[in-house]
Amino acid sequence: MSDQPTPAIDARTVFSLSGVSKTYTMGALKVEALKATDLDLYGGELVVLLGASGSGKSTLLNIIGGLDLPSTGRLRYGDTDLSRADDATLTRYRRNHVGFVFQFYNLIPSLTALENVQLVTEISSHPMDAADALALVGLDERLNHFPAQMSGGEQQRVAIARAIAKRPDILLCDEPTGALDYVTGKIVLEVLTRINDELGTTTVVITHNAAIAGLAHRVVHIGSGRINRIDVNQTRQTPQQISW
């Protein structure tokens, strides 16, 4: 197991979890979704979080993203301790520092691509220009299209533009290609790896697709609520090189 940064990324710890657990209680039933988990995320790295359905991936991502708090353990974002953060602190952390991309794009149907991204840039402290964010994902010619006028892959690229336009320190992607066909999924992965390279945004991609692991600096294997292994890819693959 290796929890060390690869030489390609910087050694700054952006986010750190230690001894984190999460138990969901439903009546008499307790589900231990995450058990005694330690993980550091480093500046600029692309991490793939790989595990079967129900292994705890989304639970871990939700805690890193400040959408949920752990039952026990410690969370640090830079010098800030988020372990027992109140709602206002978590909202500020999410708004200023975290970008989210989900399997379904969650765009507002009545707004154009540009307006969907502007919704975020208007409330961010140091955003990029919304049109520039859309150009980064290759949609500079689709600014005025509505979601219904775009393919699934294009809508996902709008969602990625929306997530990165606030210049987050961490980009969290939960099965970003889960609803897409093979070719379109690869285009979305190409966009995510390019953004990680160009902007240096620490990126975490959840997947149950082992082929995607080849893109990562580090691959975190999760099973039954535990990190079983962390692999460092000495040689990374490009989205063109992977297949499934």
Stretch that binds ligand ATP, among 57-65, 93-101, 148-156, 182-190 (CB under 6 A): 57-65
Pick one of 44, 47, 48, 57: the residue that binds ligand ATP (CB under 6 A).
Answer: 57
| Residue 54 lies near ligand ATP (rule: CB under 6 A) | yes
Q: How many residues bind ligand ATP (CB under 6 A)?
A: 13
Q: Please, which of residues 74-93 interact with ligand ATP by CB under 6 A?
A: none
CA dist 99 and 94 (Å) reads: 8
Stretch that binds ligand ATP, among 8-16, 24-32, 89-97, 156-164 (CB under 6 A): 24-32
Shortest distance (Å) from residue 70 CB to ligand ATP: 12
Other C-beta atoms closer than 10 Å to the C-beta of 63 total 26
Alpha carbon distance, N-terminus to C-terminus of the chain:
26
Shortest distance (Å) from residue 219 CB to ligand ATP: 15
Rounded alpha-carbon distances, angstroms, from residue 134 to 25, 182, 221? 41, 22, 32
Shortest distance (Å) from residue 23 CB to ligand ATP: 9
Shortest distance (Å) from residue 54 CB to ligand ATP: 4
Q: Please, which of residues 196-235 interact with ligand ATP by CB under 6 A?
A: 208
| Residue 176 lies near ligand ATP (rule: CB under 6 A) | no
Complex with ligand ATP: residue 60 or 188, whichever CB lies closer: 60
Laid out side by side, the sheet with 46-50 consists of 98-101, 170-174, 202-207, 46-50, 218-223, 226-232
Complex with ligand ATP: residue 4 or 72, whichever CB lies closer: 72
CB 5 within 8 A of CB 234: no
Stretch that binds ligand ATP, among 6-14, 23-31, 131-139, 194-202 (CB under 6 A): 23-31
Pick one of 58, 121, 177, 203: the residue that binds ligand ATP (CB under 6 A).
Answer: 58
3-state class of 197 per DSSP? helix
CA dist 86 and 33 (Å) reads: 22
CB 216 within 8 A of CB 48: yes
CA dist 149 and 171 (Å) reads: 26
| Residue 162 lies near ligand ATP (rule: CB under 6 A) | no
Pick one of 44, 56, 66, 127: the residue that binds ligand ATP (CB under 6 A).
Answer: 56
CA dist 133 and 161 (Å) reads: 5
Q: Which pair of structure tokens corresponds to residue 41?
A: 């995320």
CA dist 138 and 134 (Å) reads: 6
Interacting residues toward ligand ATP by CB under 6 A: 24, 26, 31, 33, 51, 53-59, 208
